[in-house]
A and B are shown apart, each in its own frame.
Chain A
Amino acid sequence: MSGLFGPMMVIFWKDVLLELRSRDLVVSVVVFGLLVVVVFNFALNNTPGRSEELAPGILWAAFAFAAVLSMNRAFVRDQEQGGLEGLLISPVSRDAIFLGKALTSLIFMLLVEAALLPIYAVMLDFSALSWYLMLTIFLGTLGFAVVGTLFSAMAVQTRSREIMLPVLFFPVLLPVIIAAVEATTRAVGGETFIGLGRWLPLIGVFDALFLVVCPWIFSFVVEE
């Protein structure tokens, strides 16, 4: 069980199996995502003419809330049954544990977003068939998953853990949310001040930076 990729996939597959058997995460987060759109539609008075400027914001607000909601659960199952301690005493590197959990969060969120995107496209009246949009969603969600997994591992240990994750998550993820909204506006055909050429690299740099920093810091978070 040495190496990075093997253990990472085992941890990922364990969470996928748990989810397949319980189905309590992805479905509920999708329903939550629909509720967010209904609320925003009335809060912002989204009329057909304005949807191009409002849709990217609503889309990413919903994705960000959904990401926090689903990542709040990322370590709960491991924590409750003492599974995380089992993982930590097994001969697996901390990087593999972190990357496995982050991969789980990434895939779950991409599934949720894949289910929500066509519905949003219909309800908010924009065209989702754009490679740039897909790339923006992938890069943005990767940023959510990497930083969110690290904070989730901390938040699950604290008192009032449901509130701790969003309090940590939103300020740090603000650049990703700004850049993703702007890139999405451009991708669905709206006008922005500067184009994708700057926003996508910004999310890319954020992702790369925290992909390096977070696994290293995770080893301090889970140590006894």
Chain B
Amino acid sequence: MANTQSMERSDSLGGFPSIKTILALITGVMMLVDLYFIFMVAPTDSVLGHVQRVFYFHVPIAIVSFLAFFVVFIASLGYLMKRTSKWDAIAHASAEIGVVFVTLALLTGIIWARPVWNTWWTWEPRLTTTMILWLIYVAYLMVRSYAPTRSKGAIYAAVVGIIGFIDVPIVYYSVVWWRSIHPSPVVGPFAQADALDGTMALVLLFSLITFLFFFAYMVAERMELRNTEEALGRIRFTLRRRGR
């Protein structure tokens, strides 16, 4: 018991605000500013009208979810090499937040696709790859919770985190070749320089940074929650051994 308490105290660093609190503050302020920029500052799209504003949510969320799975990949490699719980905690938190983000990316994408492409869904390479990402990382979370022990679950999840990430470029290119009729991406490696108006690009960039902070905050929060879960598990274990 004493052990757990001293650990909790060392986490909060004796009264100074933790990294998590700082991230929460930055995210909160930036999110309000971001909303102001998106709805007040960014010009209304001349063709699509107000619905185009979902773009400032959709693109950053999609980019951050891809980043989240890259973090899962690196942390999974780290866990298989070093076997420290820290790496697994990063991978676990990042995968859970990544699944939430990729779900949001799919939903906002569907809202975006309806006015732009006149269909809710199309089997276009980026959409299909995002869908496959969702499926792979849902499987990641399933394997983790269905494994016989916690440590096995961590290893199996790391395996899916590595295989899944290696697989994504192959999925992408196979779908590109499968359906070569698709609109060119607006941001990313094939970006056209004049695709976005200057203000729009700045708002998009600000929104991306906001969502990066949001992601970092969520990961920090999830990792702390996991620490609490583990501490609770140890307390339960001790109590059970004492015959309570």
Which residues of A come within 8 Å of B, CB atoms? 147, 150, 154, 157-160, 164, 167-168, 170-172, 174-175, 178-179, 182, 193-194, 198-199, 202, 205-206, 209-210, 213-214, 217, 220-221, 223
Contacts and interface: CB of A to CB of B under 8 A. Distances in A.
A160 B146 CA distance: 8
B227 interface: no
Contacts of A147: 163
A167 B174 contact: no
A175 B170 contact: yes
A205 B164 CA distance: 16
Contacts of B159: 150, 154, 217, 220-221
A165 to B, nearest CB: 10
B132 A174 contact: yes
B241 to A, nearest CB: 24
Given A147-B163, A172-B164, A167 B170 contact: no
A157 to B, nearest CB: 6
B180 interface: yes
12 contacts: A147-B163, A150-B159, A164-B143, A167-B138, A175-B174, A178-B174, A194-B180, A199-B177, A209-B170, A217-B162, A221-B155, A221-B159
A213 B175 contact: no
B171 A175 contact: yes
Nearest to B157: A154
B216 interface: no
Given A171-B136, A172-B167, A193-B180, A158 B146 contact: yes
B148 A157 contact: yes
A62 to B, nearest CB: 20
B143 A171 contact: no
A39 to B, nearest CB: 23
B167 A154 contact: no
Given A168-B143, A198-B177, 12 more contacts: A157-B147, A160-B146, A164-B143, A168-B139, A174-B132, A174-B171, A174-B174, A178-B178, A193-B177, A202-B170, A209-B166, A220-B159
A153 to B, nearest CB: 9
B209 interface: no
Given A182-B178, A202-B173, A154 B139 contact: no
Interface in B130-147: 132, 135-136, 138-139, 142-143, 146-147
B158 interface: yes
Contact of A221 (B136, B146, B156, B177): B156
A31 B160 CA distance: 31
B80 interface: yes
B150 interface: no
Nearest to A173: B167
A68 to B, nearest CB: 13
B50 interface: no
B152 interface: yes
Nearest to A199: B177
A158 B155 CA distance: 12
A213 B162 contact: yes
Contacts of B143: 154, 158, 164, 168
A179 B180 contact: no
A179 B139 CA distance: 23
